[in-house]
Amino acid sequence: MILALFLMAQALNPDLPSLLDTYRQLHAHPELSGQEEQTAKFVAGELRRLGFEVTEGLGQYDRPGLKGYGVIGVMTNGKGPVVLIRTDLDALPLEEKTGLPFASKVKATSPSGDPVSVMHACGHDLHMTCFLGTAKALSENRKKWQGTLLMLGQPAEEIGAGARALLKDGLYSRFPKPDFALALHTSAQLQAGKIGYCPEYALAGVESVDVTIRGKGGHGAYPHTAKDPIVLAAQFVIALQTIVSREVPPIDAGVVTVGSIHGGTKHNIIPDEVKLQLTVRYYKPEVRQLILSSIERIAEGLAQAAGMPGDAKPTVKYGHEFNPATLNDRELTERLVPAWQRELGEGQVAQVDPVMGAEDFSYYSRDTGVPGCIFWLGAVPEARMKEHQSGGKALPSLHSSDLAPDAEKAIPIGIRAMVAAALELLKPPTGSAN
């Protein structure tokens, strides 16, 4: 097996120019969540060319304005396990500032009707390139594995809707239900040439919360005749900080961030209401419940303490962007680590800390009985990493307009790591003719 992987790594070298062309093409032509028509068509075409049985147009959304552009390629190669490998297809509403010669200049219309710039600032272009390289390597080396391979192109990851849409559309009933689910994700903190893994929690759960604080409007010169929701909103923002510091157990993780606050129209007018947008992050379901119930309790308690009238009760609503925490299957992850170490070298594979970013890859395993593992693909250029480690400027994060991965080094590593994982899970039985 080690020799086979070595030969596969050598075979990637002639493919690298073509892979980089694919990466640059995808980077220069990003599409927003729910609008991935051309991206999906390209991925579907490449999978067909490699011999996969392809189905397009997958996904049923629970919100208007989104179309299902999910793609799946199925390749059956004898009896054996079923392995699903997922990539995400969508990009972000962000203006690129990398200065790369193939930088995105794409403009699009957001679901709300606003004109926006579009950029692959979360590495999905890198993911798709590794995904297609993996599909090619496995399709050309069928003697090395046995079972069924599902190559899944998922739309709408950035808005936390794609995985649910695919499952709602019968992903696990219309196609073979996987025994294992795999994915990789770009890391903006790990040097290109390395991969990272988490044996259990890898990414946080996320909940979007909209809060409206109500009062009684009036003239700014006569505040005693009004009930000021701006003052109450300020108290609410400060009080929220006690949830994690004083209610969440210190050994657990949680985040409550107020990302937006809007109220009022003029210097001397006390408004009737203030609107806030919050993001909540957590790993454990019980922490999520604690935080959400505390938000409601604090909002209602402060309103009552301020003497707000009964018809001015605050409202707390939960948004569409709920994703549970991504919990890697420990047994699966520990099975893959030696395969990665054999393929890449022990020094290139590291256990890393979980992050407070979120991913909807969690749905493929959540409540389905399918063990899943998502791992990190280092993408930081070596020179940039050395500059950062010597006290230089901070590294651009994911979702940054300056994110510029070292694709030339990261792509071969991503393919080799994913192929190694797939071959480990799709090992032919001892003595098989394959």
Mapping DSSP onto H, E and C, the string for 302-368 reads HHHHCCCCHHHCCEEEECCCCECCEECCHHHHHHHHHHHHHHHCHHHEEECCCEEEECHHHHHCCCC
Span 90-100, mean pLDDT?
Answer: 97
H or E, element range at 236: helix 229-246
Residue 62 has what pLDDT? 74
Residue 322 has what pLDDT? 75
Is residue 150 within 8 A of residue 72, CB to CB? The reply is: yes
Q: Which CATH architecture has domain 204-318?
A: 2-Layer Sandwich (3.30)
Residue 258, burial from CB neighbour count under 10 angstroms (0-12, 13-18, 19+): middle
Span 97-113, mean pLDDT?
Answer: 95
Residue 9 has pLDDT above 70, yes or no: no
Span 405-414, mean pLDDT?
Answer: 97
- The residue with tokens 């409007």 is 217
Dist CA 239 CA 358 (whole Å) = 25
Residue 111 has what pLDDT? 86
Dist CA 150 CA 166 (whole Å) = 13
Residue 316 has pLDDT above 90, yes or no: yes
Ranges for all domains in the chain classified under CATH 3.40.630.10: 2-200+328-425
The mean predicted confidence, pLDDT, of the chain is 94
Ranges for all domains in the chain classified under CATH 3.30.70.360: 204-318
Span 231-258, mean pLDDT?
Answer: 97
Residue 170 has what pLDDT? 96
Q: Which CATH architecture has domain 2-200+328-425?
A: 3-Layer(aba) Sandwich (3.40)
Tens of pLDDT, residue by residue over 324-370, are: 999 999 999 999 999 999 999 999 999 999 999 999 999 999 899 99
